[in-house]
Amino acid sequence: MTQILVRAGCFCAIILMGHILRRMNFFKKEDFAVLSKIVIRITLTCSIVNSFNGKSLDAAMLTMTLFGFGFGLSLAALAFFFSRRSSPGVRAFAVLNTTGVNIGNFVLPFAQSFLGAEAVMAVSLFDVGNSFFCLGGAYGLALAVSRGEKRIDMRPVFSALSRSVPFITYLLMTMLCAFRLTLPRPLMEFTGIVGNANAFLAMLMLGVGFNISPDREKIGLIIRILSVRFSLGIGLSLLSWFVLPMPFSLKQALAILFLGPIASAAPAFTEQMKGDHELSSAVNSLSIVISVLLIVVCLTQVAA
């Protein structure tokens, strides 16, 4: 329990540090865009390589990828529905900032510390399906929604995914794992150094961008997004633990995955879409606080 709380507290402390440094003018508002590019295109990509290299894929565990995709699709559909009476800009923001789970920076470290090796691999495979949305898919959907298109054209989604360096990396690493191929050790040394910086930079980025406006409409939007997201997450977590006929390790993984916070790339993609990245960072940061509480409670049960 102490180890769980220490790690969670460190994440929150880094976010707070970023926010304080921004208030002290150590970081400027425009620095968020620079940090977001570094996180998405460099450190996150290296972190993905580290997570997958040398792993072997079990055909039965590949169902975790379908769970990841299904969860992302469900969140996108719910966001699209609950914001149906809002403006195209607000709907696009809701879709982009409700969908996806922060696995690499948040859920995976918890799984590595408190669950078995099989559960860790299950978390990584879930992230393959999850990455379709949080590394480009949700951004493509949000672009289509922001243009006021009545029918969702999938071309912007696939276009965004084709330009997403992390998503392409996921596909390549999955193929390497399927053929039991590994990358050279010098390359892994490099990705290890860079990838280890990902969690820190992602949390720092959230702190730099964090800013909750007193605007009642924005506060209402934050509450709706977090309510929808965690209501579904808690329900699916309970369902997977008590109902699904799955191996114990997969139940452990799903129980905490559905409680994970919003993908850390969401504020970066919001900034690319010229949206309100400060509001996005606020939603993201608050989702981390809620996830900390939920996962701490969950781990005391599933890791027992």
Average pLDDT over residues 196-217: 78
pLDDT band at 68 (very low <50, low <70, confident <90, very high): very high
pLDDT in tens, 147-184: 776 666 666 667 767 777 877 888 888 888 878 888 89
Cβ(208)–Cβ(27) below 8 Å:
yes
pLDDT above 70 as % of the chain = 89
The parent domain of residue 280 ranges over 2-302
Give the C-alpha separation, 112 to 71, whole Å.
Answer: 22
Average pLDDT over residues 120-142: 82
Average pLDDT over residues 234-257: 89
How many domains does the chain fold into?
A: 1
Cβ(230)–Cβ(286) below 8 Å:
no
pLDDT in tens, 8-55: 778 788 888 998 998 899 998 778 878 878 887 888 888 888 877 777
Average pLDDT over residues 246-263: 88
The CATH code of the domain that includes 240 is 1.20.1530.20
Question: If you average pLDDT over every residue of the chain, what do you get?
Answer: 83
Q: Which of 89-103, 138-152, 267-281 has the lowest mean pLDDT?
A: 138-152
1 or 225, greater pLDDT: 225
Q: What is the DSSP track for the chain? A: -HHHHHHHHHHHHHHHHHHHHHHTTSS-TTHHHHHHHHIIIIIHHHHHHHHHTT----GGGGHHHHHHHHHHHHHHHHHHHHTTTS-HHHHHHHHHHHS-B-IIIIIHHHHHHHS-HHHHHHHHHHHHHHHHIIIIIHHHHHHHHHTT-SS--SHHHHHHHHT-HHHHHHHHHHHHHHTT----HHHHHHHHHHHTTHHHHHHHHHHHH------HHHHHHHHHHHHHHHHHHHHHHHHHHHT----HHHHHHHHHHTTPPBPTTHHHHHHHTT--HHHHHHHHHHHHHHHHHHHHHHHHHHT-
pLDDT band at 98 (very low <50, low <70, confident <90, very high): very high
Q: Which of 64-68, 114-118, 272-276 has the lowest mean pLDDT?
A: 114-118
